[in-house]
Structure 1
Amino acid sequence: MSVTIKDVAKQANVSVATVSRILNNLPGYSEETKQKVVKVIDELGYQPNAIARGLISKKTNTMGVLLPKVSDLFASEILAGIEDVAHEFDHSVIICKTDKDGTRTMKYLQTLREKQVDGIIIVSEYITKEYYDMLTRMNIPVVLVATQSNYDIPCIKVDDFKASYEAVTYLLDKGHIHIGMISGTRSDKMTTTPRVHGYRQALIDSGLPFTENAVAYGDFGFQSGIECMQQLLSHQKHLTAVFCASDEMAIGALSYLYKQGIKVPEQISLLGYDNTATAQKAIPPLTTIEQPLYKMGRRAFEVLIKGERKVNLIYPHRIIERDTVTNREPIALLNK
């Protein structure tokens, strides 16, 4: 049977209220009483219940993190930043993985409400009015990472339009004019839409046409990279470069090209997005757009812990050059 706060109070010969004040660093007891209670807690192995402590302190020292089923490597980089700074502040993190279309989001928001978390970090998810109304009722700090909303919610992200535009411009500067795109989820208005628009605008500004079948929509994951690469090659016989909206999709595309005997970058250049650990480990190592995911995760937790309410941070991105993009004159694929 677990030890309760009443057991501690009885053993230390003090009131339950005194034990609670000591646990929550509130005044109203002597140093001698504190030492006695601490000793009893150690002897009994008492573990304070976070919710019970929160009744007095109004804090549970717990934050919730919601993220959809996106690239696991993308998520792990952000979570590493969140959990490292949470540890520094002696906080716990509850991680809730929603489905890729957010179907479990309301259920998890209700769970986090019941757990009385002190704040919520929402990663790469579109904020619907239903979500916003629930968050408003919860009345706790919220910060968005790698997304933004139509509501007054702090956010931390990169400029997806600009990053995509510069990615395609980079390929254009390398001599590519037949450039395809493997994009994220079509319904993702906050990430996919600006990246596709950046791709489109870069082509138009260079005097090149934009065609709908030069964009294949995946789900940011490895398998969708394979499927999208196959789809692109069936419609675009003259491709010499492909911009992928995540590293995992780029690695999927790389795998498909390898199995088809199409050389990267000699026949097709590939450019990823995120600069996750897999980009450097790929063969050949992947040229990619870096967004500082770890730093974004850390900063998100700091926003919550410091109670910052008016934060809209656009982190810088940059192109990390490795071995999957080459200078070349456009050539047609030979019936691949």
Structure 2
Amino acid sequence: MASTIKDVAKKANVSIATVSRILNGQPGYSEKTKQKVLQVIEELGYQPNAVARGLINKKTHTIGVLFPSLWGSLVTDWLSGIEKAASEQGSSVIVCHTESNGEKTIKYLQLLGEKRVDGIIFVSEVLKKEYFQVIRKMNVPLVLLSTKSDSLPVPYVKVDDFQAAYSATEYLIHKGHRSIGMISGNSEDIIAGKPRIDGFIQAMKDNEIPLDGNNIVKTRGFGFNEGKTGLRELLSQKPDTTAIFAASDEIAIGAISTATLLGKKVPEDISIIGYDNINLASMSVPPLTTIHQPFIEMGEIAGKMLLNMMGTDKVPESKIIEHTVIERNSVKEI
């Protein structure tokens, strides 16, 4: 059976309160007493309970991170950045997989409250008012990563999706393309769907390129299969398309796969630019030109922002992170 704080106090012949003060760096004991307690802790192999210590110093040195999905390199990159920031300041990370399920999200928030986490990072989906209310009752700081709220006062770290989509579309235009289509992903997604559609439309209008309902295929998600079916639909309604802006790299890679099945070469017959710069983008055939989001950097910034709020109680300004176009071999100049 694991040793308890009572066992340590008994063997060191001191009070439980003295052991607690030593564990939490509080004053009220001699150096001789401290060394004696530390020696007993080592002899017994005592592991202080983080939650129990948190009851004393009101800090557990843990942060909760809620992800809608745990699949894909962007998630591991975000988490890598968050964990780097946390570990540098002696904090640990608890990861929760919500699956974008409201009931599951509430349960995880309640669990994080029971664990007495010091702060929360909410990633890549809409922060609903009921989530915000639960977090506010926990009285811990909150940072949004790769999402934002226009109605709730929460700092965020993200790329400007509208502007990044605009840049991707203009890249195709500057390469000489005029018959340009988009496979958009979920148009009802106000975080990544609608802003990227709006950016595509605005770039087309600003460059005086004809645009109608046939230019955009709106799929239900941002995955590989949406790219496969989306390309067929786009080419059926706009056969003269020479270039495509895909709202995610997975969509783009799915579109490349279908193009090959249809006997079309990329980029000789049709050019494709993606969005995200996930690891697979450089491994596709041909390697995918795409919009780069610096996911590791974004995660680290969000982590540092949260940790700073935990230490100062000051709400920082939100940060828009710069995107870049990564040129590879999937877009042809005409």
TM range (shorter): over 0.9
Query: Which position in structure 2 is the counterpart of 1:18?
Result: 18
User: 2:284 is matched with which residue?
Assistant: 282
Amino acid at match of 1:266: E
Classify the secondary structure of the residue corresponding to 2:245.
strand
- Within 5 A, what are the aligned runs for 1:87-126? 87-100=87-100, 102=102, 104-126=104-126
SS in 2 for 1:60: coil
Distance in structure 2 (CA, Å) of the matches to 1:91 and 1:85? 9
Which structure 2 residues correspond to residues 161-200 of structure 1 after superposition, within 5 A? 161-200=162-201
Going from structure 1 to structure 2, the CA distance change for 1:74 and 1:199 (only over 3 Å counts) comes to: same
Match of 1:225 in 2: 227
Aligned to 1:235: 237
Residue 128 of structure 1 deviates from its aligned partner by 1.5
Residues 102 and 125, structure 1, Cα contact 8 Å, conserved in 2: no
Q: Where does residue 143 of structure 1 map in the other structure? A: 143
In the alignment, is residue 311 of structure 1 matched against residue 317 of structure 2? yes
Counterpart of 1:241 in structure 2: which amino acid? Answer: A
Name the SS for the 2:186 alignment partner.
Answer: coil
Matches within 5 A, 1:291-310: 291-307=293-309, 308-310=314-316
Q: Structure 1 residue 43 and structure 2 residue 43: aligned?
A: yes
Counting aligned pairs with the same residue, the percent is 52
CA–CA distance in structure 1, aligned partners of residues 89 and 229 of structure 2:
43
Q: Deviations over 1:126-160 (max 9, x none)?
A: 11221222222121110011111021101011111
Gap runs ≥5 in structure 2: none
TM-fit CA distance, 1:103: 5.3
Report which stretch shifted further, 223-232 or 145-154. 223-232
1:334 — aligned with what?
Answer: none
TM-score, structure 2 length as denominator? Answer: 0.93
Distance 2:229 2:40 in 1: 62
Is the partner of 2:65 in helix, strand or coil? Answer: strand
2:326 paired residue number: 320
The code of the aligned residue for 1:159 comes to D
Deviation at 1:195, TM superposition (A): 0.9
Q: Distance in 2 between matches of 1:221 and 1:46?
A: 48
1:68–1:102 CA contact under 8 A, matched in 2:
no
Contact 1:77 1:276 (C-alpha < 8 Å) held by counterparts: no
Q: Distance in 2 between matches of 1:85 and 1:181?
A: 37
Q: Distance in 2 between matches of 1:52 and 1:124?
A: 32
Change (3 A) 1:88 1:179: same
Deviation at 1:249, TM superposition (A): 2.1
- The range that moved more, 190-199 or 224-233, is 224-233
Change (3 A) 1:114 1:231: farther
Q: Which moved more, 1:199-208 or 1:141-150?
A: 199-208
TM-score (normalizing by structure 1): 0.92
**What is the CA–CA distance in structure 1 between the aligned matches of 2:268 and 2:127, rounded to whole Å?**
42
Seen in structure 2, the aligned counterparts of structure 1 residues 284 and 190 have a Cα distance that, compared at 3 Å, is: same
Question: What is the aligned partner in structure 2 of residue 85 from structure 1?
Answer: 85
SS of the residue 1:166 aligns to: helix
Task: Name the structure 1 match of 2:270.
Answer: 268
CA deviation after TM superposition for structure 1 residue 102, in Å:
5.0
Q: Give CA deviations for 1:169-217 in whole Å, capped at 9, x if unaligned.
A: 1101112122222223333212211111001111111222333342322
Cα contact 2:182–2:246 (8 A) shared by 1:
yes
* Deviates most, 121-130 or 246-255: 246-255
1:266-314 Cα offsets, whole Å, 9 max, x none, are 1111111112222222221111111211111001110111114132111
Q: Which amino acid aligns with 2:318?
A: N
Partner of residue 332, structure 1: none
